[in-house]
């Protein structure tokens, strides 16, 4: 038998010692240089009721003024009628690494008297981004694919101290299979430490009760202790109780810090004793940005795509087969393309048929009109003929056409005076 094949038929790995330096140890550096040159794309979405500090937190997270400060809405102000979706982009750079950041804001969410469908435009927005990606993947030339998919969704929970509201649960239930959900407790400085701890517990139990999947930092088997404990620490803070501020204030010991000043003291944004802002930033940017992107692509988008294609009637025996077999992949793309063509053809046929029907209907109508006109004319002629016939008969029978009589009883015209 072939010694390089195991029983399963797969080639076995033969470990060899290198005799000297070959150079592939430098591969990670090549990848590093390349990605730095290309830059990164990241799209975050923020959802939550108005005034919970979404814009402020985004500014605090990326340390820029992506959003200009807004005055809180006066109670008399007109409320928005729908959930509008706005996105702003910014290129930011840190130590030579460029990041194209897009923030998708959803003003109006939860601001209505009836919030039953607040989640709908948001789901539609996320799905249309998947759609656009799928469409780009299926282009003949796909060297320039723009990734506008939402990689993370920060969901702002009002610091009520009770439990999650109906709207919170509904939103998360609808969205958790489509986006990485990261729940945060907004304006945590308005609650005491104990209140925050209790609130977190209640939120987590609500989330698990409704089988909602929030983003979990992945753990790998071969990871070192430090990474594992870092991941555990981040996970232990979910849902992050955050405080946002783009102002620098003076701490009691004289330091200048980002924070919020109160008569009783200063809440520091970047102090882990005061709030979970640092851990949130670590999860979203420093440690797991790539994981968020990967999970979006490999799991969330992939599931959505499979469902979509199956819905379009594209079938496939084995996903594993597809991954290792480029021919299967091409076949799948061909099927997709053919489905598209068939759809176009069906549409064209339909339009054609519709046009023919319209024409036929028109022809029939004018035919009927012609027929009606013809009949009218025929009837008129018939009548005229009958009249003439009648006149002729009368003349022939010697009777006057108009039976006008004179006083003598004789007929006019026969008397000459
Ligand atoms: P919309 O744009 O209306 O959706 O509001 P938003 O959620 O973007 O809130 P925004 O960031 O505009 O903040 C609203 C108000 O809350 C502002 O006056 C902020 O200064 C204040 N604010 C923001 N973050 C915090 C926070 O962490 N704690 C406290 N106490 N106030 C905050």
pTM over 0.95: no
CA of 93 to the centre of ligand 1 (A): 26
CA of 86 to the centre of ligand 1 (A): 17
pLDDT value of position 133: 92
pLDDT value of position 72: 53
pLDDT value of position 109: 81
pLDDT value of position 7: 56
Buried b / exposed e over 346-359, threshold 16 CB at 10 Å, is eeeeeeeeeeeeee
Whether the Cβ atoms of residue 285 and residue 182 lie closer than 8 Å to each other: no
pLDDT, one tens digit per residue, over 166-215 is 889 999 999 999 999 999 999 999 998 899 999 999 999 999 999 999 99
CA of 72 to the centre of ligand 1 (A): 8
pLDDT value of position 319: 52
| Mutation test residue for ligand 1: of 47, 51, 80, the one with most atoms within 8 Å of CB | 51
pLDDT value of position 310: 84
Residue 87 DSSP SS3: strand
Q: Is 51 in the pocket of ligand 1 (CB under 6 A)?
A: yes
Q: Is 52 in the pocket of ligand 1 (CB under 6 A)?
A: yes
Residue 366, number of CB atoms within 10 A of its CB: 9
- C-alpha distance across the termini of the chain, in Å: 146
**What is the bridge-based pairing of β-strands 181-185 and 240-241?**
parallel
Q: Is 244 in the pocket of ligand 1 (CB under 6 A)?
A: yes
Alpha helix positions (H), 225-268: 225-237
pLDDT value of position 413: 46
pLDDT value of position 211: 93
pLDDT value of position 1: 44
pLDDT, one tens digit per residue, over 273-325 is 889 998 998 888 888 888 999 999 999 999 999 988 888 777 665 554 455 56
Nearest CA to ligand 1 atom 1: 50
pLDDT value of position 384: 95
Torsion-angle region of 161 (φ positive above 0: left; ψ -120 to 50: alpha; else: beta): left
Across the beta sheet with 256-262, what order do the strands follow? 248-250, 256-262, 265-268
Nearest CA to ligand 1 atom 29: 187
> HSE of 60 in the Cβ direction (CA atoms, 13 Å)?
25
CA of 82 to the centre of ligand 1 (A): 20
**Cα distance between residue 92 and residue 39, in whole Å:** 10
Q: Is 191 in the pocket of ligand 1 (CB under 6 A)?
A: no
Distances (CA, A) of 244 to 8, 58, 61, 83, 281: 56, 8, 8, 23, 12
| Low-confidence stretches of the chain (pLDDT beneath 50) | 1, 3-4, 79, 320-321, 406-417
Nearest CA to ligand 1 atom 23: 53
CA of 393 to the centre of ligand 1 (A): 105
CA of 85 to the centre of ligand 1 (A): 18
Q: Which residue do the tokens 């809440």 mark?
A: 267
ipTM surpassing 0.85: yes
CA of 125 to the centre of ligand 1 (A): 24
The CA-CA-CA angle for residues 93, 96, 97, to 5°, reads: 60
Q: Is 54 in the pocket of ligand 1 (CB under 6 A)?
A: yes
Backbone angles phi, psi at 256, to 5 degrees: -90, 120
**Cα distance between residue 245 and residue 120, in whole Å:** 30
Nearest CA to ligand 1 atom 9: 53
Distances (CA, A) of 266 to 249, 279, 280: 8, 19, 20
């Amino acid at each position: 038998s072939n010694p390089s094949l195991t029983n399963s038929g797969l080639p076995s790995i033969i470990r060899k010692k290198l005799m000297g330096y070959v150079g592939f140890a430098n591969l990670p550096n090549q990848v590093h240089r390349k990605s730095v040159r290309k830059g990164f794309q990241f799209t975050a979405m923020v959802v939550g009721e108005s005034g919970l500090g979404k814009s402020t937190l985004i500014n605090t997270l990326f340390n820029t003024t992506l959003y200009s400060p807004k005055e809180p809405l006066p109670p008399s102000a007109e409320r928005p009628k729908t959930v509008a979706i706005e996105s702003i982009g910014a290129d930011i750079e840190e130590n030579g690494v460029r990041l194209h950041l897009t923030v998708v804001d959803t003003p109006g969410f939860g601001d209505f008297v009836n919030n039953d469908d607040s989640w709908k435009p948001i789901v539609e927005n996320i799905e249309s981004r998947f759609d656009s990606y799928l469409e780009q993947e299926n282009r003949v030339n796909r060297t320039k694919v723009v990734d506008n998919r939402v990689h993370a969704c920060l969901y702002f929970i009002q610091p009520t101290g009770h439990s999650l509201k109906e709207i919170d649960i509904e939103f998360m239930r609808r969205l958790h299979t489509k986006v990485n959900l990261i729940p945060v407790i907004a304006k945590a400085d308005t609650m005491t430490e104990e209140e925050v701890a209790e609130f977190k517990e209640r939120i987590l139990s609500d989330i698990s009760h409704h089988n909602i999947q929030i983003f979990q930092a992945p753990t790998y088997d071969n990871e070192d202790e430090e990474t594992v404990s870092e991941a555990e620490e981040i996970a232990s803070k979910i849902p992050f109780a955050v405080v946002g501020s783009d102002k620098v204030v003076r701490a009691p010991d004289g330091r200048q810090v980002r924070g919020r000043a109160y008569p009783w003291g200063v809440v520091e944004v970047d102090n882990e004793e005061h709030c979970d802002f640092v851990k949130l930033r670590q999860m979203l940017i420093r440690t797991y940005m790539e994981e968020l992107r990967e999970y979006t692509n490999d799991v969330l988008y992939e599931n959505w795509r499979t469902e979509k294609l199956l819905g379009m009637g594209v079938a496939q025996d084995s996903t594993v087969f597809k991954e290792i077999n480029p021919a299967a992949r091409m076949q799948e793309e061909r099927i997709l393309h053919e489905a598209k063509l068939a759809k176009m053809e069906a549409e064209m046929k339909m339009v054609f048929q519709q046009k023919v029907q319209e024409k036929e209907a028109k022809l029939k109508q004018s035919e009927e009109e012609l027929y009606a006109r013809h009949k009218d004319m025929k009837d008129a002629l018939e009548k005229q003929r009958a009249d003439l016939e009648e006149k002729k008969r009368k003349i022939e029978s010697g009777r006057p056409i108009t039976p006008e009589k004179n006083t003598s009883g004789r007929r006019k015209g026969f008397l000459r005076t």
